[in-house]
Structure 1
Amino acid sequence: MVRAGFLGLALWLGVMAGVSGQSREEAYRPFNGKDLSGWKLKGNAAKSHWKAVAVKLDPTNERAFVIVPDAQELWLCNVQGGGVDIYTEEKFGDIHLEVEFLLPKGSNSGVYLMGEYEVQVLDSYGKPDNKLTQGDLGALYGAAPPKKNAARKPGEWQKFVIEFQAPRFANGQKIAPARFRKVELNGVLLHENVEMKGPTPGGLTGKEAPTGPLMFQGDHGPVAYRNIIITPLK
């Protein structure tokens, strides 16, 4: 009886492990905290405003950043709007992503999984839940609005936790779509198990593939990113 009970428990734990999600590999930090090594630009490099700096809200203009000189910690910052997007040299499939971001008032950016599937970054602070759209903070752009508005005030750090499943291919044909298994903003669940019919407009290539980079949108407004942790899922 004891042995049978033990085997039953082991089988149940194994099933639950499969249900609860994939196991994780070693975490990877694509930003080294010093410079833009390991990153590429989408578009004309002369138009880029991405820098390894620290920033704060401009005391004379709440819609802008100013660079903090001699900062002890540097972030991946698009210091002003109208630039280009930036993406990792490294490519990934299924991942667990944690990333913190900072916005001035009214700013707009985006986190593109695999360079193609966007989680919207926007100053949506104070907007009622029943007014949220597919363009608000935490939306799967063009696919699904966030369930709740968990946006913090401009100038406050915010955090995404995202579990993403890459599209599946066999013999060169897509057999399963990309899927956001979970999107949390500041500890609030916004999405769960949402399929993506195709790439988000404005992505890196507009094509789907088994792997792709992490991309941050930089052609709209100022934004800063830090504590970027990518954990591939087996």
Structure 2
Amino acid sequence: MKSLLTLFSLITLAASAQDVTLFTGDKLTGIKEPHGTWQAAQSLALDPANPKAFQITPGTGVFVNSAAGKTKDLFSEVEHGDCELHVEFCVPQGSNSGIYLMGRYEVQVFDSFGHQELKYSDCGGLYQSHLPPPAFTGKPPAVNASKAPGEWQSFDITFRAPRFDAAGKKIENAKFIKVIHNGQVIHENVEVNAPTRSAAFDEEKPLGPLKFQGDHGPVAYRNVVLKKLP
């Protein structure tokens, strides 16, 4: 399935037995408006004159938050709970983004190439909550699997949504069952007891959309596949 997505430059959501197209290579579909200045591209590379920026080749297959590098966050129209997520991303030097499961729980996207003392703010880190302890204080990745700026990278995430009783009271926290960064396991069985910083929603719910942060610097995404789990 992933090879087909790559071949046709599709970004899809695999929901049960049906794929819902989220990005068709030349326009954003399945994404809530407004889209800001996100645009499709054929490819991108670091700008030789400014390694903190992209040179963008027009075309299809990749979506990038414009040459300016700062615009609106993207939200999927479809909402999810338990899921498996595959996503590929690229950042230039020093840039910053994030992928929010259910719009609430962030896996950090950052240029962490060569970093030695890892923090939750490094690439693959689970970001802290804006609430005081005992709310989630963040968790750095177990290893630094980051590639150099301008190289494509990947996350494979298995996520378990929070659980609620019949009265709507939360009885189990959200949990990152496993996060794999460029083929290396960086998190296993990490509970997140509150939405993380810059979450779209403060209140926890059984379902929520994917959020792609677009206001912290240049970033590009491709081959995003969300498989809903029963």
TM-score higher than 0.5: yes
Q: CA deviation at 1:29?
A: 4.8
Q: Partners in 2 of 1:52 and 1:148 — Cα distance?
A: 32
The equivalences for 1:96-175 within 5 A come to: 96-128=84-116, 131-142=117-128, 143-170=138-165, 171-175=167-171
- In structure 2, give the amino acid aligned to 1:188: Q
Higher strand share: 2
What residue is the counterpart of 2:72 in the other structure? Answer: 84
Percent identity of the aligned residues? 48
Q: CA deviation at 1:93?
A: 0.6
Q: CA deviation at 1:194?
A: 0.3
When normalised by structure 1's length, the TM-score is 0.82
- In structure 1, give the amino acid aligned to 2:27: D
Q: CA deviation at 1:66?
A: 2.2
What residue is the counterpart of 2:45 in the other structure? Answer: 56
* C-alpha spacing 1:65/1:81, structure 2 compared with 1 (3 Å): same
Q: CA deviation at 1:125?
A: 0.0
Q: Partners in 1 of 2:21 and 2:227 — Cα distance?
A: 9
Q: Which of structures 1 and 2 has the bigger CA Rg?
A: 1
What residue is the counterpart of 1:219 in the other structure? Answer: 215
Higher helix share: 1
Q: After alignment, is 219-228 or 81-90 more displaced?
A: 81-90
When normalised by structure 2's length, the TM-score is 0.84
The equivalences for 1:187-202 within 5 A come to: 187-202=183-198
Please state whether the residue corresponding to 1:91 is helix, strand or coil. Answer: strand
Q: Partners in 2 of 1:166 and 1:125 — Cα distance?
A: 30
Q: Which runs of 5+ in 1 are unaligned?
A: 1-23
Q: CA deviation at 1:53?
A: 2.0
How many residues get paired? 203
